[in-house]
């Protein structure tokens, strides 16, 4: 009856609203939990360059006439200040991201642009890149630069794990309104996952033949300041994860030590009725072997950063 359908509709709206509230509470709790990690990470990462600067500054009065010392100090000071500025910039991008600008785009073109930026690193490491996008167009509404940053962060991690002469495989395809495949490590509510999997979506898999990730590290892979590398602040994957969430998607990762790692990005596809034809060239290809941020923020931004995480 009509009254029954109205009651069901009202109940669905109520459940949807409750789910949104629960998700918001969990996001806030997650941000608050990250506050301690961010503060500790900032203290550690900023303290190291400050110690170097302090040491050189203390020695400067007695070694001022030493030309070589002055040159070394000048070089180191610039490098360490840049290091701090870069860290603060990345922290701001993580904790207080710029609102994404959603426009219709072809995800294959975004991937091509990303690989072009990394062509020298790929050639230097003698990496073979195999790119296979089974659908000619993978159109969705997204922020081109932010999605490019996601691909950059993930692919750079893949290249670093392979050292030399590895294989980077990138697959992209459209999935039509059905659940296919199991979910690996993901962050987000189940209802959000089901909502994404109930509509057409695009899936991009980025696989490497690197050293793999210890299973004990997988749950922390998207946490800020978590890294298994000797260098780096451990923010790249955390930023990538946040960007995909902003786009209504999910990020999964599977890894086998000694064999490699696969990142799977799933994003909602542009609705069929709203698609626009665009020029572009997609398809399968194999790349043979060999084939900036804004200005630094003021120091007060660090305090704002910590406040924004708790808000």
d(CA 242, CA 158): 19
Same domain, 221 and 281: yes
Same domain, 120 and 252: yes
Which residues form the domain of 144? 103-287
Same domain, 218 and 93: no
Please compute the mean of the pLDDT values over residues 60-64 and round it to a whole number: 84
What does the pLDDT look like over 154-165, one tens digit per residue? 999 899 889 778
What CATH number should be reported for the domain holding residue 256? 3.30.565.10
For residue 102, the 8-state DSSP code is -
Residue 292 domain-assigned (yes or no):
no
* 3-class SS shares of the chain: helix, strand, coil, % to 5: 50, 15, 30
Q: Inform me whether the pLDDT recorded for 169 exceeds 90.
A: yes
Same domain, 205 and 271: yes
Which position has the higher pLDDT, 189 or 10? 10
Same domain, 306 and 279: no
Q: Inform me whether the pLDDT recorded for 310 exceeds 50.
A: no
- pTM attached to this predicted model: 0.58
d(CA 305, CA 310): 9
Q: Inform me whether the pLDDT recorded for 191 exceeds 60.
A: no
d(CA 229, CA 66): 36
Q: Inform me whether the pLDDT recorded for 113 exceeds 60.
A: yes
Same domain, 130 and 270: yes
Residue 295 domain-assigned (yes or no):
no
CB 237 within 8 A of CB 154: yes
């Amino acid at each position: 009856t009509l009254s029954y359908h109205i009651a069901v509709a009202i109940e669905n709206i109520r459940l949807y609203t409750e789910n949104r509230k629960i998700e918001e509470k969990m996001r806030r709790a997650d941000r608050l939990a990250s506050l301690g990690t961010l503060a500790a990470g900032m203290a550690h990462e900023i303290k190291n360059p400050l110690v170097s600067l302090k040491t050189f500054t203390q020695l400067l009065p007695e070694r001022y006439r030493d030309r070589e010392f002055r040159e070394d100090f000048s070089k180191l000071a610039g490098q360490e200040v840049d290091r701090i500025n870069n860290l603060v910039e990345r922290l701001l991008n993580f904790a207080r991201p710029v609102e994404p600008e959603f426009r219709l785009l072809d995800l294959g073109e975004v991937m091509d642009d990303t690989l072009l930026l990394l062509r020298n690193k790929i050639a230097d490491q003698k990496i073979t890149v195999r790119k296979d996008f089974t659908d000619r167009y993978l159109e969705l509404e997204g922020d081109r630069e932010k999605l490019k940053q996601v691909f950059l962060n993930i692919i750079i991690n893949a290249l670093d794990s392979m050292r030399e002469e590895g294989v980077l495989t990138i697959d992209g395809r459209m999935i039509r309104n059905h659940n296919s495949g199991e979910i690996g490590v993901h962050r987000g509510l189940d209802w959000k996952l089901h909502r994404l999997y109930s509509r057409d979506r695009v899936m991009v898999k980025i696989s490497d033949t690197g050293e793999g990730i210890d299973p004990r590290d997988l749950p922390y892979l998207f946490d800020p300041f978590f890294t298994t590398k000797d260098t780096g602040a451990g923010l790249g994957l955390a930023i990538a994860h946040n960007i995909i969430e902003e786009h209504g998607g999910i990020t999964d990762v599977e890894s086998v030590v000694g064999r490699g790692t696969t990142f799977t990005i799933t994003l909602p596809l542009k609705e069929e009725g709203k698609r626009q034809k665009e020029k572009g060239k997609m398809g399968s290809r194999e790349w043979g072997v060999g084939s900036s941020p804004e200005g630094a923020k003021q120091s007060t931004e660090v305090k704002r950063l910590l406040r924004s995480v708790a808000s």
